[in-house]
């Protein structure tokens, strides 16, 4: 009875999970989702805690802060959704603390150059450059001078970071997990074939169903509770799979001992 109730709860959770995944998808962590990266060279060593504080005050969505270059003088902010206003806030705070003079135009320039194919701007005529400047004002609401557009080295950059496909991340884990699981199913079929009638088939089948249910339940629970999906998802799923296998094996061994005891 207890088991039935448990299975029903699991099935309901799985159905809900599928609906949530279809409608909203997983709540991907910053690393896994499409996000924007702001790279700022401070040119002096800094305490990452200060940067985290600045980020906390500046960004509304999920973010990640880390040092960037090997000398520890640059910082990277990975932000899920960032507005121009938030970037301005961030730069103001950095300028205030570290005496730098960065502005949003510098941050967005490399991105604009890439998006508008302006890498050969030096070879353009003045009219062409003026036309591009007008387009930039219209599209980005930022006004650059011709000299600013020709400036190639920037100490602050905004980079569009694509999402990591969940399948790409999980792919290496799939085959080894399936191979080992199939081996365990075969072992269950051989080892527990005498536990009951047709146990050679029933035991592996039961294990298969339970495992699929538990794994789907976990995935659904992650989707429903909106726990951020990060690099530890596969680790968690595999750890639980192994734990479940141990529990099932111990249970079956106990059953086998009990059966042997009865016979004796």
Partner 1 sequence: MKSNKAIKNLTILAVIILILILAFISFIGIPKNKLKDWEKPDYSFSKEIEGKGVSSITFYVDDSTKEIEEVVKSEDKEETEENKSDESVEDTVSVNETVSTDENSTEVADTTNEEKSSEDEEPETTTVKKTVPVNGDGVLNKDNYKKTKSIIQERLKEYGITDYSIRLNEDNGNLNLEIPYDHDDIDNVVKLVTSYGSVEIIDTDTNEVLLDNSDIKNAKAYYQPSQSVDDGFDFYLQFEFNNDGLKKYRDITKQYVETIDSEGESKIKSITIKIDDEDKYVTYFAADGNYTYLGFPLYQGVTDEETLTKNNEDTVMTQYIINSGKLPIVYTINSDSVYYMETSNVFNIVKVSVIILIVAVAIVAIFMILKNKKLGIFSLLLEIGYIAILLIIIRNSNDIILTITGLISILGATLINYYFLACMMKHTENRFLVTLKDMVLRIIPLLLFTIVFIYSNVLYLESIGKVLVWGMLISLVYNATLSNLLFYLCDKETIEGAEK
Note the residues at the interface with partner 1 (CB under 8 A).
31, 39, 64-70, 74, 76, 110, 157, 159-165, 168-169, 172-173, 175-176, 179-180, 183-184, 187-188, 191, 231-232, 234-235, 238-239, 242, 245-246, 248-250, 253
CB of 185 to partner 1, least distance (A): 9
Judged by beta carbon, residue 76 or residue 216, the one nearer partner 1 is: 76
Tell me whether residue 15 or residue 190 sits nearer to partner 1 (CB atom): 190
CB of 187 to partner 1, least distance (A): 6
Q: Between residues 15 and 247, which has the closer beta carbon with respect to partner 1?
A: 247
Residue 243: CB minimum distance to partner 1, A: 9
Cβ closest to partner 1, residue 77 vs residue 220:
77
Quick one: which of 62, 37, 81 has its CA closest to 227?
62
Task: Between 20 and 30, name the residue whose CB sits nearer to partner 1.
Answer: 30
CB closer to partner 1 out of 33 and 220: 33
Minimum gap (Å) between residue 15 Cβ and partner 1: 30
Shortest reach from residue 67's CB to partner 1, in Å: 4
Nearest approach, Cβ of residue 240 and partner 1 (Å): 11
Instruction: Check: CB of residue 46 under 8 Å from CB of residue 93.
Output: no
Minimum gap (Å) between residue 196 Cβ and partner 1? 18
DSSP secondary structure of the chain: -HHHHHHHHHHHHHHHHHHHHHHT---B-TTTS-EEEEEEE-SS---HHHHHHHHHHH-SS-EEEEE-STTS-EEEEEESS--HHHHHHHHHHHHHHH-----HHHHHHHHHHHHTT-TTGGGS-HHHHHHHHHHHHHHHS----HHHHH----SEEEEEEPPPPHHHHHHHHHHHHHHHHHHHHHHHHHHTTTSSTTHHHHHHHHHHHHHHHHHHHHHHHHHHHTPPB-TTHHHHHHHHHHHHHHHHHHHHHHHHHHHHHHH-
CB atoms within 10 A of CB 19: 13
C-beta of 31 vs 84, nearer to partner 1: 31
């Amino acid at each position: 009875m207890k088991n039935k109730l448990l299975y029903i709860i699991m099935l309901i959770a799985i159905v809900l999970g599928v609906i949530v995944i279809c409608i909203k998808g997983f709540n991907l962590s910053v690393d896994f989702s499409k996000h924007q990266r702001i790279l700022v060279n401070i040119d002096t060593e800094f305490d990452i805690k200060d940067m985290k504080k600045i980020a906390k005050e500046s960004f509304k969505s999920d973010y990640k802060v880390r040092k960037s270059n090997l000398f520890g003088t640059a910082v990277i902010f990975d932000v899920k959704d960032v507005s121009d206003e938030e970037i301005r806030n961030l730069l103001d705070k950095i300028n205030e603390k570290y005496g730098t003079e960065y502005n949003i135009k510098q941050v967005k320039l490399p991105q604009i150059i890439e998006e508008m194919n302006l890498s050969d701007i030096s070879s353009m005529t003045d009219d062409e450059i003026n036309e591009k400047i007008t387009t930039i004002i219209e599209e980005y609401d930022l006004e650059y001078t011709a000299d600013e557009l020709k400036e190639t080295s920037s100490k602050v950059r905004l980079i569009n970071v694509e999402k990591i496909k969940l399948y790409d991340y999980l792919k290496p884990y799939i085959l080894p997990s399936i191979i080992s699981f199939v081996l365990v199913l075969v072992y269950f079929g051989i080892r527990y074939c005498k536990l009951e009638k047709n146990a050679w088939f029933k035991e592996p089948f039961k294990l298969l169903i339970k495992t699929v249910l538990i794994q789907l339940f976990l995935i659904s629970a992650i989707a429903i509770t909106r726990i951020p999906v990060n690099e530890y998802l596969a680790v968690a799923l595999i750890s639980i799979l192994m734990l479940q296998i141990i529990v099932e094996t111990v249970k079956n061994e106990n059953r086998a001992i009990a059966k042997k005891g009865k016979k004796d």
